Chain A
Amino acid sequence: MTIRVLIFGALAREMSCKELVVDVCAPATVRDVNASLAAKFPPKACFFQSARLAVNHAFATLYEPVQTTDEVALIELVGGG
């Protein structure tokens, strides 16, 4: 199944897009999404492997299930204030 991952800030500028799309096997967890991102973008594999993901506007654990209808976002390198 396909998962769309929203990205922001410096990462979005570096990747020249606002979302990344990965395929994972159902049933999938956040950890699977991290692994798929790492596999799809080898130069940034280390970053994606451990990047914090939010599912439906809340930080998710590695073992939280993910569905295609979920809103998944990568929340790293924040810096408000």
Chain B
Amino acid sequence: MSVLVHISPGPLSSERLLASHSASAAHAVGATVVFEGIVRASEQGRTIRALSYEAYEPMATNSLTQLANDILSKHALIAITVEHSRGEVATGQRSFRLAIDSAHRKEALAAMDEFIDRMKRDVPIWKTAIYI
């Protein structure tokens, strides 16, 4: 089981990071679910140019790591990789990516929903819309 958390400036690249697996863990993976958060062009009915993300580091990194480990154990997953932006991310670009590896799809999909709900409640990251 492995967890990788990465908070970086600006938009995420299109290539996702990969959590390292042991050979036996890699053979056990039967499902990979990836969610990508993309900055929408409108917020509350107004057109925006970008979102600006502010993270309270290192608490944000610690919280994401703790959350990932908790979800990993609870759903018996194989790996979780979390990538989040800080700073400005223009519309149409990726600001968040969560990749979950598991033996079967069901636990990965359940873990995905729970992770994002808990992140939005507890992880100290704030976003601000930058309007045109």
Contact = CB atoms under 8 A, between A and B. Distances in A.
Interface of A: 6, 8-10, 13, 54, 57-59, 73, 75, 77-81
Contact of A78 (B37, B58, B126): B126
Contact of A54 (B121, B124, B126, B127): B124
Contacts of B123: 78, 80
B20 interface: no
A5 to B, nearest CB: 12
Interface string B109-132: 000000010011111111110000
Contact of B120 (A13, A57, A75, A80): A80
B84 A80 contact: yes
Contacts, number: 58
A47 to B, nearest CB: 16
Interface string B39-70: 00000000000000111101110100000000
Interface of B: 37, 53-56, 58-60, 62, 84, 95-96, 116, 119-128
A73 B56 contact: yes
Given A58-B62, A75-B59, A81-B120, 19 more contacts: A8-B54, A8-B124, A9-B127, A10-B128, A54-B124, A57-B58, A58-B59, A59-B122, A77-B126, A78-B121, A78-B123, A78-B125, A79-B126, A80-B55, A80-B84, A80-B119, A80-B127, A81-B95, A81-B116
